[in-house]
C-alpha cells in the first residue's frame, strides 16, 4: 500500500469516507454471516466480534477476535471478519492506490472447540518494510 494512501486513511481523508469504521462494520457483519458464505460451516452463536487496525507507513494490519458461548471454535468467523474488513479497505482505497494487496491471512490463536487451545509459533511473511499489505 502506498504511504500516501495509509496517511489518507489515518487522516480520514479518503473520498469514500471513514475507511476503518466502514471496514470494522463490514468485518463484524462478515463474522456473523460466515455460515451463509461457507457451505460446510455451521451457524454459530457469535457473542463478541472485535475488528482492530494498526496503521503502519505502508500497510494496515487487520486483526479480529470472535467469542462464542457455543462449544465450537470460531476460526472461520474470525477469518471472514479479517478478510472482508481487508476487502473493504481495498474497495474504499482502490481509486487512490491500485498497488494494494491482501496478504498473510492466518489464525494466530484459538481456544475452545474439540481441539482446545492453539497458538501459531511461526512468523509469517510480515515485515515492517513491506509495502503491499492492505
- Provide DSSP, 80-97: HHHHHHHHHHHHHHTTT-
Position 9 pLDDT exceeds 90: yes
pTM beyond 0.85, yes or no: yes
For residue 110, what is its C-alpha cell? 484459538
- What mean pLDDT is reported for the chain? 89
**Active-site residue, selected from the candidate residues 2, 91, 97, 131:** 91
The count of residues in the chain is: 134
What's the rounded mean pLDDT across residues 20-37?
Answer: 96
Task: Tell me the per-residue pLDDT of 71-110, one tens digit each, with 9 for 90 and over.
Answer: 777 899 999 999 999 999 999 999 999 999 999 999 988 8
- Helix, strand or coil, per DSSP, at residue 4: helix
What's the rounded mean pLDDT across residues 15-23?
Answer: 97
Q: What domains does the chain contain, in order, with CATH numbers?
A: 3-119 (3.30.70.640)
The reply to whether 104 belongs to the active site is: no
CB-based burial label for 28 (10 Å; 0-12, 13-18, 19+): buried
pLDDT for the residue numbered 127: 45
Amino acid at each position: 500500500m502506498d504511504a500516501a494512501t495509509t496517511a489518507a486513511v489515518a487522516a480520514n481523508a479518503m473520498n469514500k469516507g471513514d475507511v476503518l469504521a466502514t471496514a470494522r462494520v463490514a468485518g463484524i457483519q462478515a463474522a456473523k454471516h460466515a455460515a451463509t458464505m461457507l457451505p460446510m460451516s455451521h451457524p454459530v452463536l457469535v457473542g463478541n466480534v472485535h475488528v482492530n487496525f494498526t496503521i503502519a507507513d505502508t500497510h494496515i494490519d487487520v486483526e479480529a477476535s470472535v467469542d462464542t458461548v457455543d462449544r465450537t471454535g470460531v476460526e472461520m468467523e474470525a477469518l471472514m471478519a479479517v478478510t472482508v474488513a481487508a476487502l473493504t479497505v481495498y474497495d474504499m482505497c482502490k481509486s487512490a492506490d491500485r498497488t494494494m494487496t491482501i496478504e498473510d491471512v492466518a489464525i494466530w490463536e484459538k481456544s475452545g472447540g474439540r481441539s482446545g487451545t492453539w497458538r501459531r509459533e511461526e512468523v509469517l511473511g510480515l515485515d515492517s518494510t513491506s509495502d503491499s499489505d492492505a
